[in-house]
Amino acid sequence: MNTAPARRLDPSAAAAPFDVERVRADFPILSRSVHGKPLVFLDSGASAQKPRQVIDAISQCYEAEYANIHRGVYELSAKATEAYEGARARVQRFVNARSASEIVFTKGTTEAINLVATSWGGAFLGEGDEVVLSVMEHHANIVPWQLLRERTGIVLKVVPTDERGAFPLDAYEALVGPRTRLVALTHVSNVLGTVVPIAEVVRIAHASGAKVLIDGAQGVVHQPVDVQALDADFYCFSGHKLYGPSGIGVLYGKEALLAAMPPYQGGGDMIERVTFERTTFAPPPARFEAGTPPIAGTVGLHAALDYVASFDPAAVAAHEHDLLAYATERLGALNSVRLYGTAPGKAAIVSFTMDGVHPHDIGTILDRAGVAVRVGHHCAQPLMDHFDIAGTVRASFGLYNTRGDVDRLIDGLEDVREIFG
């Protein structure tokens, strides 16, 4: 397992300069071609590619240290359990949680939000209680609340956005009232790149006595997250967007909240004592981790967090900012391109349309040129409705992207223009 130091939390560690070519060398997939062209991968917002360090950690787990956890008395099981709980401790440090028992492993962000909606929402929300969302939410942070609304009669309130795709704090504040029990917002919009001012969001919600859940699927990728400083009640994210494996994610929840929540699923590992008359449950986090978890997934996540933390966050931010500024400038110079999401301080995600060309056609032509972008509604149909469009083309940048990648995107768009006239 990769045990690189957590530079973020160790100011004495020397910060390596950010060398994108060295970073690229860590990602084996980036050396392959697609349709005979070197791959340009601009879809990290959907799922990031994996560095050798993560791939090796997962292989090592299966080759030398694999067994089921928590149940075995034998050496290998003890080692696997140690790795699993070690990954939990790594996540704790990564988001600066107070305790490792505030870290629940889930399949990903989607499952984490469903867990909170079903367990916390089901136990503590009732008819007329209000949950505040925003128009820029991913479906993962809309549908679980609608399902809860069907069961309990809660009311959903939706924060709008403006032309630039900014988050209007005043409109949000106006929606938070005495019936607001929960504010559930994305940290960073997966379509617009808008960074929601979550510290302010939390302050306003808490002043009204509401809890806050932050969907950090995109947020945790683009900036360090300190859950204690943010004071969010729940924060969730997915390993696969953070250069780790798919099938593993995290729900951070404040200890007292998790302790008061009923189980989400029943099964092995989440119990204290089972009889046919009555079952008592384990304390968190085990209470929410029924069944055999993705053991190798947590090992891969651990390696991914080590990998991300091995970079100076300021250098990463500068790199991503440069890519965003360059892409925005070059796209803006193309006639007929319309950008969505121009809020100040946004993350390195650009969404656009081209007059008279369907996003799917653009995506297909770019693919032939070796450039992978996402097209469509990006699981944010209410946001598409807001802008009155069917979809966009989205380029989302990761650690390994370069200005040369942006140039290839622009070349591909020029091909699109030629084909469509």
Supply the residues annotated as catalytic.
379
Q: Which of 238, 353, 396, 402 binds ligand PLP (CB under 6 A)?
A: 238
Q: Alpha-carbon distance 50 to 244, whole Å? A: 6
Q: Note whether 4 and 306 are within 8 A (CB).
A: yes
Q: Alpha-carbon distance 177 to 153, whole Å? A: 17
Q: Which residues contact 124 (CB under 8 A, 6 or more apart)?
A: 181, 260
Helix ranges (DSSP H) in 65-152? 75-95, 109-115, 122-124, 143-152
Q: Which of 180, 218, 298, 392 binds ligand PLP (CB under 6 A)?
A: 218
**402 interacts with ligand PLP by CB under 6 A:** no
Annotate each residue in 63-102 with x if it binds ligand PLP (CB under 6 A) or - if it does not, as one string: ----------------------------------------
In angstroms, the Cα distances linking 382 to 141, 143, 160, 208, 400 are 12, 11, 10, 27, 31
Least distance from C-beta 17 to ligand PLP, angstroms? 30
**Region from 9-17, 104-112, 300-308, 320-328 binding ligand PLP, contact rule CB under 6 A:** 104-112
Annotate each residue in 265-304 with x if it binds ligand PLP (CB under 6 A) or - if it does not, as one string: ----------------------------------------
Nearest Cα neighbor of 333 from 414, 266, 401 is: 414
With vertex at residue 48, the alpha carbon angle to CA 88 and CA 410, rounded to the nearest 5 degrees, is 155
Least distance from C-beta 413 to ligand PLP, angstroms? 23
Q: Residue 362 phi/psi, 5° resolution?
A: -60, -45
**194 interacts with ligand PLP by CB under 6 A:** no
Taking the least distance from each CB to ligand PLP, the nearer of 46 and 147 is 46
**43 interacts with ligand PLP by CB under 6 A:** no
Beta strands 349-354 and 392-396 are antiparallel
Taking the least distance from each CB to ligand PLP, the nearer of 379 and 410 is 379
Taking the least distance from each CB to ligand PLP, the nearer of 215 and 320 is 215
Interface with ligand PLP by CB under 6 A: which residues?
46, 108-110, 138, 140-141, 186, 190, 215, 217-218, 238
